[in-house]
Structure 1
Amino acid sequence: MKEIEIENWNRKAQYQFFKNFDDPMFGASSNVICTNLYNEVKKTKESFFVHYMHKALQAMNEISEFRLRISEDKVLEFQKINGTTTVFKKNNTFNFCYFNYHKEFPKFYSSTCDAIDTAKNQDHFVTKNDLNLIYVSVIPWRNFTSIKHPRMFDKEDSIPKIVFGKIFEENNQLMMPVSVEAHHALLDGYHLSCFFNRFEELMKNI
């Protein structure tokens, strides 16, 4: 982790403009082609979620703006971003699951599956306050065109949020709705587009 020198930062003007907004979070939703990855994973009977989550974390870790966080008026850049996701439980509630990003997919797959299984069977509600995370949710029952997240306006919040929806078919391709929300002082629509494009590229080129 390193601290960004704001005075010499190329985003200084944008950062100072957006950082004190009452609601500085902005976002976009996009349908991402997932045909190739889905068909390959279907052959293995492995978790499609864990496969595409690895691609999403890879894309976000490659884009430095997604590794930036605001903490006590400082901008911090983390070397690596990990994930936390909601895990659906048998009683129709959920728990949070925390997992580390590993470039090596077999290691990521094994550790993430273990973390998901643990979260499913925990009776207590698990929360952490780490900054080097991406908040992940999955709504596999519907596709969507937008989504709104809850916020505590008196709490500093600069962690991006990503939501994956139900896969659907369009023009002979499998599509998955993906929503990303982030702090506008740290990144813009350009960086969101870079993520969507890179994520889709990783889903195609397996």
Structure 2
Amino acid sequence: MTPIDLTTWPRQQHFSLFKDFTQPYFNVCVQLDMQPLYNYCKAQQISFFQSYIYLTLQACHRYQPMLQRVINDAPWQLNTARASVVELAQDDTFRFSYFTQQDSFFAFQTHATHVSTAAKLQPLFSHAFSQTEGQADLIHISVLPWLDFMSFSHAFTQGTNLGIPKLVFGKLNKLTGKMPLSIDVHHALMDGLHVAKFINELQVAITQFINTN
């Protein structure tokens, strides 16, 4: 993690404008073209869910603004991030699974399966939760596979925020191949253009995954 030099950063004034807003995040909802990935996963008998989480982490690491954070009122650039993913336990309450980037999807698949299984056996306020939540190097990801939503809003507190992006994937429409994605980002760090570039990076990652595996 390295500090961003405000004297040379083009967003210096934008950062100053938005960093102290009571609610500094803005939200965009888009429709991802996920039919090719779904078809590929079905043909290869691999997890569609694990695939798009893996590719989301990959796209975040490729696109540096997604790894920028606000720490002690200053902008910082992370080298790496983990995914804090909401998953459903057997009692229909959620748990947090913490996934790290892996060198290959198959390594990620093994890692994610182990982490998910362990997380679902623990209470919400687990040891992993106490050791991880509130840290800056996270990407918050939720999944609502039951809803083909068109907008989304998060619960939030007035406490200190770190500029962590928040992503929510919705239900895959198997007729159109489209899947909703809600993305919240900190306006001191990113604008709409940056969100569009990240979405493009994610779609490119999906295409490359299908073509090279």
Q: How many angstroms apart in 1 are the aligned matches of 2:145 and 2:124?
A: 24
Q: How many angstroms apart in 1 are the aligned matches of 2:99 and 2:189?
A: 24
2:186 maps to which residue? 183
TM-align CA RMSD: 1.4
Q: How many angstroms apart in 2 are the aligned matches of 1:105 and 1:91?
A: 29
Q: How many angstroms apart in 1 are the aligned matches of 2:94 and 2:44?
A: 27
Question: How does 1:25-104 map onto structure 2 within 5 Å?
Answer: 25-104=25-104
Q: How many angstroms apart in 2 are the aligned matches of 1:190 and 1:24?
A: 17
> Is the 1:165–1:176 Cα contact (8 Å) retained in structure 2?
yes
3-state SS of paired residue (2:204): helix
Q: How many angstroms apart in 2 are the aligned matches of 1:154 and 1:77?
A: 21
Deviations 1:105-153 (A, max 9, x none): 2211211111111111113423222211100000000111111011111
TM-score normalized with structure 1 length: 0.94
Q: Structure 2: give runs of 5+ residues left out of the alignment.
A: none
> Is the 1:133–1:159 Cα contact (8 Å) retained in structure 2?
yes
Runs of 4+ in 1 over 6 A off after TM superposition: none
- Amino acid across the alignment from 1:193: A
- Amino acid across the alignment from 2:53: M
> Is the 2:136–2:162 Cα contact (8 Å) retained in structure 1?
no
Does residue 134 of the first structure (1) align with residue 134 of the second (2)? no
**C-alpha deviation, 1:45, in angstroms:** 2.7
Number of positions where the alignment pairs a residue of Structure 1 with one of Structure 2: 204
Deviations 1:77-97 (A, max 9, x none): 111121011110111101111
Which stretch of the first structure deviates more once superposed, 79-88 or 115-124? 115-124
**C-alpha deviation, 1:60, in angstroms:** 1.3
The structure richer in strand per residue is: 1
Does residue 166 of the first structure (1) align with residue 171 of the second (2)? yes
**C-alpha deviation, 1:4, in angstroms:** 0.7
- Amino acid across the alignment from 2:120: K
3-state SS of paired residue (2:178): strand
What percent identity do the matched residue pairs reach? 30
Q: How many angstroms apart in 1 are the aligned matches of 2:202 and 2:174?
A: 18
- Amino acid across the alignment from 2:142: S
Does residue 114 of the first structure (1) align with residue 131 of the second (2)? no
TM-score normalized with structure 2 length: 0.91
Does residue 200 of the first structure (1) align with residue 183 of the second (2)? no
